[in-house]
Amino acid sequence: MVGYTLMATLADNINAALSRSLCQGWDRNFLLSIQGKLEAGKTISKRQHEVLAQILDKCSDSNEEKHADWGHIYRTKYQTDAVVLAQYHITQRYYSDISSVIIDGDVPSKHKFKRMYNNKYSQKVLAEYNKAPRLPPGEYVLARSNCNSYKNIQTHHINDYSASRDCVKRFMKDGGFIVGVEKYIHSAAKGAKRYRILPPGKPHYIIIEERFLKRGLK
């Protein structure tokens, strides 16, 4: 009976933590995993108990209040930059969990966010995002010698593989015209603005970063 009461209390504590907005990412997934084990009548290891205690302490009611206070600061001061950074980090090894939280419109952990925000790569991404595009719409451009047609040209929006390769080949041979600029930065490098380029005679645009483009002859 005592064991049943302890398990019920543990389950209640997990449910309470899961109901709080600061319970995110890996912590949330861990709690959901433990919750599933308890509901299935399985036991959890000593190490899982230790991690569980740490997460429950982190996701306490008092910390939820602090998270709410941070949420106001985040939304008024950081959210715009946060979305820019999340669009970059979501494809990287680190910070993908917090990036998902940000893209979903939730308030990320203050500690994790500040680490991501002050990261040197994040600062490079923000610097590129805030720069004005160097190349104007309608500009005729060519691929620089450092442009790799497989690595540096994006065609994921073109559903037909054959059509996408035709567009890339035509651009590498004859260049193309700038028809737009992508909103977000995907590389922590100078010249990372992403342009939509329409190769002559092709129905689809391709996406290339500024550092791989040069102005064509008038």
Looking at residue 126, its pLDDT comes to: 98
Q: Are 178 and 136 in contact (CB under 8 A)?
A: yes
Q: How far apart, in whole angstroms, are the C-alpha atoms of residue 158 and residue 167?
A: 10
Q: How far apart, in whole angstroms, are the C-alpha atoms of residue 151 and residue 102?
A: 28
Per-residue pLDDT band for 39 (boundaries 50, 70, 90) equals confident
Residue 214: phi and psi, rounded to 5, are: -140, 155
3 state DSSP class of 37:
helix
pLDDT tens digit sequence for 102-128: 999 999 999 999 999 999 999 999 999
Looking at residue 6, its pLDDT comes to: 58
Q: Average pLDDT of the chain?
A: 91
Per-residue pLDDT band for 26 (boundaries 50, 70, 90) equals confident
Per-residue pLDDT band for 203 (boundaries 50, 70, 90) equals very high
Which pTM does this prediction carry? 0.79
Q: How far apart, in whole angstroms, are the C-alpha atoms of residue 58 and residue 144?
A: 50
Distance from chain centroid for Cα 178: 26
Helices (H) and strands (E) in the chain, counts: 9, 6
Looking at residue 2, its pLDDT comes to: 36
pLDDT above 90 as % of the chain: 70
Hey, which bits of the chain come out as E strands? 140-143, 153-154, 176-181, 194-198, 206-209, 213-215
Looking at residue 17, its pLDDT comes to: 87
Quick check: 137 pLDDT over 90?
yes
